[in-house]
Amino acid sequence: MAEKVLVIEDDALVRDLVTLNIAHAGYEVIEATDFASGLSQLVDGTWDLALVDAMLPGGDGFTLTRTAREKGVRKPIVMLTARSDVASRVRGLDCGADDYLAKPFDVQELLARVRAALRRASPGPMKDTRLTLGAFWVRFDTGQALTSEGLLSLSEKELRLMQLFANRPDEALSRADILEEVWGMDAFPTDRTVDNFIMRLRRLFETDPESPHHLITLRGRGYLFKP
């Protein structure tokens, strides 16, 4: 069965270009043209990857992506936007996007990013589906976690980051390693995103986030996970 790509784009010319090439590459295409219908389709979840325009009638793609993540959507989202400045890229990735592609873009690059994001969304087998951290735990099969804030659904990036640590315990991981493994990008404008995610996970899974026992900072090197 063909994988489904949700295209949320109000510009008819861009939408037709994207959908035609996505369909030609063998994917099934679902379309939405504004914020409200895009959010409905994202939450519906009958898709494998979403391409989201940054500017939409009724709202913007940044808010749309953040709202979808808050509602528990963990599937890959790639943002398409006319803005290529660093601040916009950081904003898109921080709000939960998996990748960010500036217009005008090359169709072959778009297809390569779609393939890469879908590969990253299908992680290798876990030895265990549950990770225990003291009184807390994570279920990798469901995305559910018992945390200091109670029972939560982790975001897709939070879940992938915990999977990476669980698969590579007691191993020093640089920020570049983490970005490549979790975000899948060869280059990234700042390490801030990794640090912010680690801070969030410490608040969720460490009894004392200021003195962590599991998510350890290696000064000048990166991070290390102790089960």
- pLDDT single digits (tens) 202-227: 999 999 999 999 999 998 889 999 98
Confidence check: pLDDT of 127 > 60: no
Q: What is the pTM of this model?
A: 0.63
Give per-residue pLDDT as tens, 72-87: 888 899 998 877 666 7
Chosen CATH of 4-120 out of 3.30.450.20, 3.40.50.300, 3.10.580.10, 3.40.50.2300? 3.40.50.2300
Query: Which CATH number is correct for 130-225, 2.40.30.170, 1.10.10.10, 3.90.1150.10, 1.20.120.450?
Result: 1.10.10.10
Two structure tokens written together for 95: 């709000």
Q: What is the mean pLDDT of residues 15-37?
A: 95
| pLDDT tens, position by position, 87-102 | 777 777 778 888 888 8
pLDDT over 70 (residue 189): no
The domain limits of the chain are 4-120, 130-225
Give residue-wise pLDDT tens across range 133-154: 989 999 988 889 999 999 988 8
pLDDT at 118: 86
> What is the rounded CA–CA span in Å between residue 166 and residue 105?
36
